[in-house]
Amino acid sequence: MADTIVSSATREVVIGFDRPFCVIGERINPTGRKLLAAEMTVGDYSRVESDARAQVEAGANMLDVNAGIPLTDEPRILAETIQLVQSITDVPLSIDSSIVEALERGLSVYKGKALVNSVTGEEERLEMVLPLIKKYGAAVVAISNDETGISEDPDVRYEVAKKIVERAADYGIPRADVVVDPLVMPVGALNQAGVAAMRLIRRLRDELGVNTTCGASNISFGLPNRHALNAAFLSMAIGSGMTSAIMNPLHAEEMQGVMGANVMMGHDPECRRWIKKFREPAADGQEAQGARGGRERRRRRA
Amino acid sequence: MADTIVSSATREVVIGFDRPFCVIGERINPTGRKLLAAEMTVGDYSRVESDARAQVEAGANMLDVNAGIPLTDEPRILAETIQLVQSITDVPLSIDSSIVEALERGLSVYKGKALVNSVTGEEERLEMVLPLIKKYGAAVVAISNDETGISEDPDVRYEVAKKIVERAADYGIPRADVVVDPLVMPVGALNQAGVAAMRLIRRLRDELGVNTTCGASNISFGLPNRHALNAAFLSMAIGSGMTSAIMNPLHAEEMQGVMGANVMMGHDPECRRWIKKFREPAADGQEAQGARGGRERRRRRA
Residue A215: is its pLDDT beyond 60?
yes
Percent of chain A with pLDDT over 70: 92
Q: What is the mean pLDDT of residues B256-282?
A: 94
| Residues A167-194: tens digit of each pLDDT | 999 999 999 999 999 999 999 999 999 9
pLDDT at B280: 72
Task: Tell if the CB–CB gap between A150 and B298 is shorter than 8 Å.
Answer: yes
Question: What is the pLDDT confidence band of residue A47, given thresholds at 50, 70 and 90?
Answer: very high
User: Do A235 and B265 contact (CB within 8 A), yes or no?
Assistant: no
Measure the CA–CA gap between B128 and B124, rounded to whole angstroms. 6
Measure the CA–CA gap between B141 and B95, rounded to whole angstroms. 10
Per the model's pLDDT, the better-predicted residue between B185 and B1 turns out to be B185
Q: What is the mean pLDDT of residues A34-53?
A: 97
User: For residue B292, what are the contacts with CB-CB under 8 A and spacing of at least 6?
Assistant: none
Q: Which domain holds residue A236?
A: 4-301
Look up the CATH number of the domain holding residue B37: 3.20.20.20
Residue B183: is its pLDDT beyond 50?
yes
What rounded mean pLDDT belongs to chain B?
93
| Most B CBs within 10 Å, among A74, A115, A271, to test the B interface | A271
Residue B197: is its pLDDT beyond 90?
yes
DSSP codes, chain B: --EEEEE-SS-EEEEETTS--EEEEEEE--TT-HHHHHHHHTT--HHHHHHHHHHHHTT-SEEEEE---TTS-HHHHHHHHHHHHHHH--S-EEEE-S-HHHHHHHHHH--S-PEEEEEES-HHHHHHHHHHHHHHT-EEEEES-BTTB--S-HHHHHHHHHHHHHHHHHTT--GGGEEEE--PPPTTT-TTHHHHHHHHHHHIIIII--EE--BGGGGGTT-SSHHHHHHHHHHHHHHTT--EEEE-TT-HHHHHHHHHHHHHTT-SGGGHHHHHHH---GGG-HHHHHHHHHHHHHHHH-
Residue B67: is its pLDDT beyond 90?
yes
Q: CB atoms < 10 A from the CB of A292, how many?
A: 11
User: Cβ contacts (< 8 Å) between A217 and chain B: which residues?
Assistant: 297
B257: nearest CA partner in chain A: A232
Give one word for A97, left, alpha or beta, with left for phi > 0 and alpha for psi -120 to 50.
Answer: beta
Residue A295: is its pLDDT beyond 70?
no
One-letter-per-residue 3-state SS of A152-180: CCHHHHHHHHHHHHHHHHHCCCCHHHEEE
**What angle, 0 to 180 degrees and rounded to 10, lies between the N-to-C axes of helices A154-170 and A193-206?**
30
Q: Using alpha carbons, list the distances in angstroms from residue A260 to A20, B27, B211, B215, B234.
A: 11, 25, 24, 18, 11
User: Cβ contacts (< 8 Å) between B239 and chain A: which residues?
Assistant: 198, 235-236, 239-240
| Residues B202-233: tens digit of each pLDDT | 999 999 999 999 999 999 999 999 999 999 99
pLDDT at B152: 86
A245 lies within 8 A of chain B by CB: no
Residue B60: is its pLDDT beyond 60?
yes
Q: Which of A143-157, A265-279, B265-279, B283-297 bottoms out in mean pLDDT, i.e. has the lowest?
A: B283-297
pLDDT at A13: 98
Question: What is the pLDDT confidence band of residue B191, given thresholds at 50, 70 and 90?
Answer: very high
CA-based nearest distance B137→chain A, Å: 22
Task: Tell if the CB–CB gap between A221 and B191 is shorter than 8 Å.
Answer: no
Task: Tell if the CB–CB gap between B265 and A296 is shorter than 8 Å.
Answer: no
What rounded mean pLDDT belongs to chain A?
93
Question: What is the pLDDT confidence band of residue A292, given thresholds at 50, 70 and 90?
Answer: very low
CA-based nearest distance B228→chain A, Å: 6
Strand order in the sheet with A62-66: A211-212, A178-181, A139-143, A115-120, A93-96, A62-66, A22-28, A244-247
Nearest to B232 among A183, A257, A270 (CB): A257
ipTM, 2 decimals? 0.92
Domains identified in chain A, total number = 1
A275: nearest CA partner in chain B: B224
Q: What is the mean pLDDT of residues A206-211?
A: 97
Per the model's pLDDT, the better-predicted residue between A288 and A83 turns out to be A83
Residue A301: is its pLDDT beyond 50?
no
Q: Positive or negative, the Cα torsion across B18, B210, A233, B282?
A: positive
Model's pTM, two decimal places? 0.92
User: Do A194 and A237 contact (CB within 8 A), yes or no?
Assistant: no
Nearest to B143 among A215, A235, A301 (CB): A301
Task: Tell if the CB–CB gap between B194 and A221 is shorter than 8 Å.
Answer: no
Residue A290: is its pLDDT beyond 60?
no
Give one word for B4, left, alpha or beta, with left for phi > 0 and alpha for psi -120 to 50.
Answer: beta
DSSP A268: S
pLDDT at A284: 47
B268: nearest CA partner in chain A: A191
CA-based nearest distance B213→chain A, Å: 12
User: Cβ contacts (< 8 Å) between B185 and chain A: which residues?
Assistant: 294
Residue B297: is its pLDDT beyond 80?
no
Amino acid in position B207: E
Task: Tell if the CB–CB gap between A224 and B263 is shorter than 8 Å.
Answer: no
How long a stretch of residues is chain B?
A: 302
Q: What is the mean pLDDT of residues B55-77?
A: 97
pLDDT at B2: 87
Question: What is the pLDDT confidence band of residue B1, given thresholds at 50, 70 and 90?
Answer: low
Q: Tell me if residue A234 falls in helix, strand or coil.
A: helix
B243 lies within 8 A of chain A by CB: no
Measure the CA–CA gap between A128 and A175, rounded to whole angstroms. 18
Residue B147: is its pLDDT beyond 90?
yes
User: Cβ contacts (< 8 Å) between A64 and chain B: which residues?
Assistant: none
The Cα angle at residue A35 between residues A34 and A37, in degrees rounded to 5: 65
Q: What is the mean pLDDT of residues B99-114?
A: 98
| Residues B70-85: tens digit of each pLDDT | 999 999 999 999 999 9
| Residues B155-180: tens digit of each pLDDT | 999 999 999 999 999 999 999 999 99
| Most A CBs within 10 Å, among B264, B267, B286, B299, to test the A interface | B264
